[in-house]
Amino acid sequence: MGYESMKANKENSFYPVTENEIKEVEKELNLKFPKEFVNFYIEVGYGFIKGSEFNINRIMDPYSVRDFRLGDNDFEFYPDIEIYNEFENNKLIFFESSESALMSIELNEKNSSPVYYYDIQIATSLEEFLRKKEAQVVYELRHEFPLKALLQLVEIPRSTYYYIVSKFGLPDKDAELKKLIQAIYDEHQGRYGYRRIRDELWNRGHKVNHKKVQRIMKELGLKSLVRMKKYRSYKGKVGNIAQKF
């Protein structure tokens, strides 16, 4: 697609990335960044795509990508980082849509790499993902600025924009499963975590992977109210203390 419109949009903020920075992080992580992602870094860099006030839309710099994968620095105490780790074996977290929504790109040596939200593929390439993201931004700003001007700014044909927007309203294929998970959670007064809810789903004939249950519970904001107690050694008195005479 070329990224001229994205770079020309003054509402976006991008900063340069060097090949040496990419190679340094690749060496530390012992992996190769996807070719399409490297090309974007070199041509555009890292930074922020303009969106609504509720979205961050940050393309992470190479060092942030490294820190997230290693759980270091700013990401050492990132909420639920272990959930993302389960889905990051052949993928790389690279995009922060909001404080609780991160996207990953598939690690491969092809010219294009699919983009995922958890284990759900949301785009067949980084190019498609960014095109959808720009259309989403236009959709969010359509009441603030003329649609024609916005589409000219991001260089998206009107027909393409309406096609992408039509996909925003697709029915949620997990809607019934979400209702069932919520019902099981409520039935047990929040005492069930994702594994016990998975077991209950299986008992009811729904063969669902525990990772999917875990992802949906995170989306619904459901957390078990029961926490495993840590073992604490006894710190009381042992025997009697002899008195001084």
pLDDT at 1 over 70: no
3-class DSSP state of 115: strand
- Output the six-digit token pair for 193: 């975590």
pLDDT digits over 34-70, tens only? 999 999 999 999 999 876 566 788 999 999 999 999 9
pLDDT digits over 142-179, tens only? 777 777 777 777 677 777 777 666 665 555 667 789 88
Pick from 108, 104, 77, 110: nearest CA to 92? 104
- Output the six-digit token pair for 57: 């839309």
Question: What are the distances in angstroms from CA 121 to CA 90, 124, 236, 240?
Answer: 13, 7, 55, 66
Pick from 79, 83, 45: nearest CA to 61? 45
Per the CB < 8 A criterion, the answer to whether 104 and 120 are in contact is: no
> For the whole prediction, is pTM greater than 0.85?
no
Pick from 89, 120, 86, 90: nearest CA to 103? 120
pLDDT digits over 70-120, tens only? 988 888 877 767 777 777 789 999 999 877 788 999 999 899 999 998 888
pLDDT at 209 over 70: yes
CA distance 229 to 227: 6
Q: In the chain, where do the E strands start and end?
A: 13-15, 46-48, 58-59, 91-98, 101-106, 115-117, 120-123
Q: Which residues contact 91 (CB under 8 A, 6 or more apart)?
A: 104, 105, 106, 107, 116
Pick from 57, 76, 15: nearest CA to 40? 15
